[in-house]
Structure 1
Amino acid sequence: MPSLTSLFPLTSQRRQAIFYALTYAGTGASLPFMPLWLKTHGMTAGEIGIILASPLLLRAVTGPVSGLWADGFRLYRTPLVWLACCGALFYALMAAGGLLPAVRFPLYLMLYTLAFSCMTSLAPLNDAMTLQLARQDRFTYAVPRAVGSSSFIVTNIVLGFLLVIWPTDLILVWLVVAAILTALGGRYLLAGLVRPGHASVGTAGTGLERLNVLMRDEGFLWLLAAIGCLQASHSFYYAFSTIIWKERGLSSATCGYLWAVGVVAEVAFMGLGEGIRRRMGPWRMLVIAGVLAVTRWGLMAFSPPLWALYPLQCLHAMSFAATYLAGLELVQRLTPKGYESLGQTINAAYANGVMMGMGTIASGAIYTVFAAKGYGVMAGVAVLGLGSALWLYSQRMRLMAAMV
């Protein structure tokens, strides 16, 4: 009888896909359900907002620090295993909050910030590793990343169903178990993967000197501006779309369908759109994503009818997924060899941390003043990102023309 490994060999792409599934099983529980856990454990709405926003804003520091730290290891898996183990420990310690009600808020704030920072630092490090392996072993990076997004969706559905019959403490148990499984997955799935250029990293100077290498790169900074603005333009959508749709009379089920359409479009583009992505290339893909982001938010500002919301939700495949994928590849191209993890963690810290956190905080005031017209403000933010992407693209074309 053939063995399981002969029927389903663990290729490099499959190993990365499994590891993505493990890491996003934790994120899929934390983002939607942690506010519920905090509420049932005595936190007010204001305290919940502070707890959730703190690790996002601190990614300006934790992102580069984790990247500098990770670049010092010879094996890819070492920092990933340590981060997952620390994330599991900090999440588990949050259970002690019930024993210390007098200091519950600062305790939750500290532990959640540490745990969430550890677990979200896994993503850019994993991205840098997977991009390198995709080139080395000739597989499509976006496929294992799409598995991660699928795992996020499945976690939302499964945990949402389980919370109907189980208490909210299941959320914390899920997060701890997911972090432990991520650590085990890193230990056994990623064995022997050596970071390329590791020898040169050790002679590249101190952490601040290596950080300055990237911060002095004008192209890298323009790229951060483009990705950061395009991703931050989603902050109003994430924070207030459901509220706006329900105010228009749409049911909760319809709102859920609209969210699902966007995520399915994202996963489909990542998993099945390799031919399209290859024809566009990362430079043009970033520009096209910017154009469609401006289009999406500009049209949403006019409160389109329900039938038009579905195709606009499909544009999530470009406004988010295409921006994300193009950004990853361009960061990989623009950073020196041995700096890939640092470049990806700075990108993630800025685009999905600081910029998204600032956009989320500003969204409250924008909604208060403009209501649904607030999407127009996000269209303006996307215009800034598109302008930065166009400048980068023109510089790239000029350089290629000069080489000819």
Structure 2
Amino acid sequence: MRVDSSLFRLTTVRRQSLFYALIFIGSGASLPYMPLWFASKGMSGAQIGLILALPLLLRAVTGPIMGVWAEKFPLFRSPMIRLAIAGGVAYGGLMLWPVAGDARFWLFVALWAVGYSCITSISPLLDVMTIQMSKREAFNYTGPRAVGSASFIAANIAVGYGLNWIGVDLVVIWVVVLCFLAAGAAWAVLPRAPRHIEEGPTATDSAPAYLPQQTGAQRIRELLANPVFVLLLAAMGCVQGAHAFYYGFSTIIWKSQGLDGATSGYLWGAGVAAEVLFLMFGFRLRNRFGSWTLLVAAAGLSTLRWFMMGFAPPAWALWPLQTLHAFSFAACYLAGLDLVNRMAPKGSESLAQTLNAAWVTGVMMGLSTLASGPVYDALGGRGYWVMAGMAGAGLLIAAYLYRRQVMRP
């Protein structure tokens, strides 16, 4: 019987999906479980909070630097290879600490900041590559990203079970291995696609890069001189940053309501599953109603989600509220990718997306993470109302931009 070889051919969509999966399999271990590893090495809660928040805040600086640096390479994959290797080396250094006490803490701060900055810089570069490739080859760019989110769920569950067998050191080993696997996959699997189509098949990893006439600083100033771009980042930063309280304290709050750990895990999974489904099919809503409309809907439903969560709803009500993650996160992310890419001047797409990531999931998420602890101490579960206010600010900005960009005569 003849087997259809097209089933096994690595098309561009499958290549992008595989690389997204590797990146998210790594983050599926680091995001929920690295705090446990730091705690096992003697770090206090305050120290863990600083370790985790510092690279988020530093993205205001590291994001633009990475974006300018990445655009000097002629191929999309070249900076991703280097970032994955650097991230793997930094994360690996976490297990080689020869010092104790405060020196160990500051070593962890430095190594985690370097590793996290490198690995999280890959995602916006990969987003730009996928968007550009989808235009060239006419496929839906949200599909590969949905595969990444699904892989996050699988990794979260797999590492959770593995901790029972191997112990907490599995977390760092897992992340380091995935970094080097991602570096190898970026070289062997990602298409050797030129960043700029005019360079065509002559581009190589070591060839002279396409360099716009403007310097990196000039291109940053050009982007930030666009008030619509700046307000768009502000709106998305408010909507996405409002998730910080949920990420940090939802499980604690649910347990205080009498829900067991398994139920909390399923609730988290329901939110990410809704995100995956929206990334797979939400582009139809975007194509029908437009990205500005999608952004307003995301901000409005995010405000509703956190406002209702502040009432400590019973378990049966939590499930539909968790499905709103499809809008509070995924719809905002999808709309933002499209709008930022459309606003970026030619040759500055990677820079625009790294500025987007630096502000939205860096500075705003970092500040919200730092604020969430005191908010929880003061208000408990009602701290969700503070996040509702933050999302509401994003809604006001998004509504203003909608009127300006869509409804103007």
Partner of 2:100: 101
Partner of 2:291: 282
Partner of 1:226: 235
Partner of 1:246: 255
The more displaced of 371-380 and 208-217 is 371-380
Partner of 2:27: 27
Name the aligned partner's letter for residue 46 of structure 1.
Answer: A
Q: 2:403 aligns with which of 377, 394, 399?
A: 394
Q: 1:265 aligns with which of 252, 274, 286?
A: 274
Partner of 2:385: 376
Which secondary structure does the structure 2 equivalent of 1:308 belong to? Answer: helix
Distance 1:307 1:195 in 2: 48
Within 5 A, what are the aligned runs for 1:39-50? Answer: 39-50=39-50
Distance 2:294 2:130 in 1: 20
Asked if 1:333 corresponds to 2:342, the answer is: yes
Asked if 1:112 corresponds to 2:112, the answer is: yes
Does the CA-based 8 Å contact 1:16-1:144 persist in structure 2? yes
Partner of 2:78: 78
The more displaced of 313-322 and 87-96 is 87-96
Structure 2 CA distance for partners of 1:198 and 1:104, relative to 1, 3 Å: farther
Structure 2 CA distance for partners of 1:378 and 1:67, relative to 1, 3 Å: same
Asked if 1:344 corresponds to 2:346, the answer is: no
Which secondary structure does the structure 1 equivalent of 2:290 belong to? Answer: helix
Name the aligned partner's letter for residue 278 of structure 1.
Answer: N
Distance 1:8 1:224 in 2: 40
TM-score (norm 1): 0.95
Distance 2:99 2:378 in 1: 40
- 1:116 shift after superposition: 0.8
Within 5 A, what are the aligned runs for 1:163-174? Answer: 163-174=163-174
The more displaced of 327-336 and 301-310 is 301-310
Name the aligned partner's letter for residue 109 of structure 2.
Answer: L
- 1:5 shift after superposition: 5.0
Partner of 1:8: 8
Name the aligned partner's letter for residue 376 of structure 2.
Answer: Y
Does the CA-based 8 Å contact 1:197-1:338 persist in structure 2? no
Distance 1:327 1:203 in 2: 24
- 1:181 shift after superposition: 0.8
Partner of 2:205: none
- 1:172 shift after superposition: 1.5
Structure 2 CA distance for partners of 1:197 and 1:359, relative to 1, 3 Å: farther
- 1:273 shift after superposition: 3.2
Partner of 2:147: 147
The more displaced of 28-37 and 201-210 is 201-210
Could you report, residue by residue, the CA deviation over 1:57-112 in whole angstroms, capped at 9, with x for unpaired residues?
A: 11111111100100111000110000001011111122211x32353111111111
Which secondary structure does the structure 2 equivalent of 1:80 belong to? Answer: helix
Could you report, residue by residue, the CA deviation over 1:269-300 in whole angstroms, capped at 9, with x for unpaired residues?
A: 11233323322221110011111111111111
- 1:302 shift after superposition: 1.8
Partner of 2:366: 357
Name the aligned partner's letter for residue 384 of structure 1.
Answer: A
Partner of 1:175: 175
The more displaced of 333-342 and 199-208 is 199-208
Distance 1:165 1:198 in 2: 53
The more displaced of 357-366 and 15-24 is 357-366
Count how many residue pairs are aligned between Structure 1 and Structure 2: 399
TM-score (norm 2): 0.94
What is the RMSD of the two structures over their aligned residues, measured on CA atoms?
1.7
Could you report, residue by residue, the CA deviation over 1:222-265 in whole angstroms, capped at 9, with x for unpaired residues?
A: 10011000001111111111111111222222212211111111
Which secondary structure does the structure 2 equivalent of 1:303 belong to? Answer: coil
Partner of 2:188: 188
Which secondary structure does the structure 2 equivalent of 1:273 belong to? Answer: helix
Partner of 2:206: none
- Percent identity (aligned): 49
Partner of 1:161: 161
Partner of 1:56: 56
Does the CA-based 8 Å contact 2:240-2:329 persist in structure 1? yes
Distance 1:17 1:65 in 2: 26
Name the aligned partner's letter for residue 10 of structure 2.
Answer: L
Distance 1:39 1:369 in 2: 24
Does the CA-based 8 Å contact 2:196-2:210 persist in structure 1? no
Structure 2 CA distance for partners of 1:208 and 1:384, relative to 1, 3 Å: same
Does the CA-based 8 Å contact 1:366-1:374 persist in structure 2? yes
Asked if 1:132 corresponds to 2:132, the answer is: yes
Name the aligned partner's letter for residue 166 of structure 1.
Answer: I
Asked if 1:321 corresponds to 2:320, the answer is: no
Does the CA-based 8 Å contact 1:197-1:337 persist in structure 2? no
Which secondary structure does the structure 2 equivalent of 1:101 belong to? Answer: coil
Distance 1:295 1:13 in 2: 35
Unaligned runs of at least 5 residues, structure 1: none
Partner of 1:310: 319
Could you report, residue by residue, the CA deviation over 1:290-320 in whole angstroms, capped at 9, with x for unpaired residues?
A: 1111111111122222211111111110111
Distance 2:48 2:112 in 1: 11
Name the aligned partner's letter for residue 303 of structure 1.
Answer: A
